[in-house]
Structure 1
């Protein structure tokens, strides 16, 4: 599932309750607003003080060129959220062999894009390797810098990623 996003790639279809119900091409899932599932992994420095922020490539099928702080993507047919999160983290940022901590699950539905979100967190101080088809830029930021990006209308942030990080920030309050 890595590399340039293929609209014909088969992805797992879900129902509104979060059950896998079939398979459909990625382009059809996006075009028709079909329920599916996706993962996101928040990469934090080992000390927890920094978050890895990136800008999506302009080749992405949804939210091209937007900022985000989640490495992730859609689940393939029969793929578990844990396996998809580990695969996507490796593909997008070159991070592997690290324990994923599940941190949240919610439904995202903006009227056109509908999916079940499975969020994770990792701590990582090792090297990062961007997959150029997925990530155009990335860098470590402190939480106040992340909040500034979220507030800056000149730096569009993925709407689904915004919901996820705002939920994460709200749960932690000042204890980030």
Structure 2
């Protein structure tokens, strides 16, 4: 599989921008609410830790069979960053599969931003040779389940680390 590179994705109200290390300053504030870690564990990163994480992510996966695509979510009307979406693309015997994830800062939640961003990401993935899109969702995280469902994923009976595997097959 040719390695995918994140491209700018435009939706009605958002622009998904390929992640850059320079986004860490603004994103540290966006992601500063400890409540964002309720279902995933951990604590908010400092600017320095987030910058180091973004350096690793933008350098790419050390595994040649895996591609990391990361974006920040920017509101088109205000230009402020509100969260991130990502796709980890791996190859298997059928081709490429993508595992997606999203996070939107607390002040911007309940406004449809994660849903619009996830839909935009799935639309972008459909334009590439990806046969499956999946996401791991904590069973108690109703908001993430709603985002996954709105993006076309359905829950499976597969579990990993206490989370349900949601899946969308792309023909």
TM tier relative to shorter chain: 0.3 to 0.5
TM-score when normalising by structure 2 = 0.33
What TM-score does the superposition give when structure 1 sets the normalisation length?
0.32
Q: Which has the higher contact order (CA 8 A, sep 6+)?
A: 1
